[in-house]
Amino acid sequence: MKKVITYGTFDLLHYGHINLLRRAKALGDYLIVALSTDEFNWNEKQKKCYFSYEERKQLLEAVRYVDLVIPEESWEQKRSDVKEYHVDTFVIGDDWEGKFDFLKDLCDVVYLPRTPDISTTQIKQDLHVK
């Protein structure tokens, strides 16, 4: 079985997220999503989510492409996650191009193009303006 892992906040789940999850799942048989915890988002990314970690986890678990959701609690956990879950492919959006090449000694690293014209940041900005 080929395992794939991706990471993200996945707040205000939208079709760009679904496209990423669909394409990630197509690269293997089993998709693991490491979901940023509320504490990690606030302390490390200075991001406040609309939905809590538990709510975002429930949303992701309802997506047919997702097999397992685990917490992302630090930037450093990626190497240990890849080892612990026997991951074959690490997938992330191409806005992170080159940033995770340090995992290439453990697994394949794939940077997928973002879905154009959609982002949680853009949704929040659009809603704030109106």
Enumerate the active-site residues.
45, 47
Question: Scanning the structure block, which residue is given the tokens 């492919």?
Answer: 89
Contact 65, 31 (CB under 8 A): yes
Phi, psi of 76 (to 5 degrees): -75, -10
State whether residue 58 is helix, strand or coil.
Answer: helix
End-to-end Cα spacing for the chain = 47
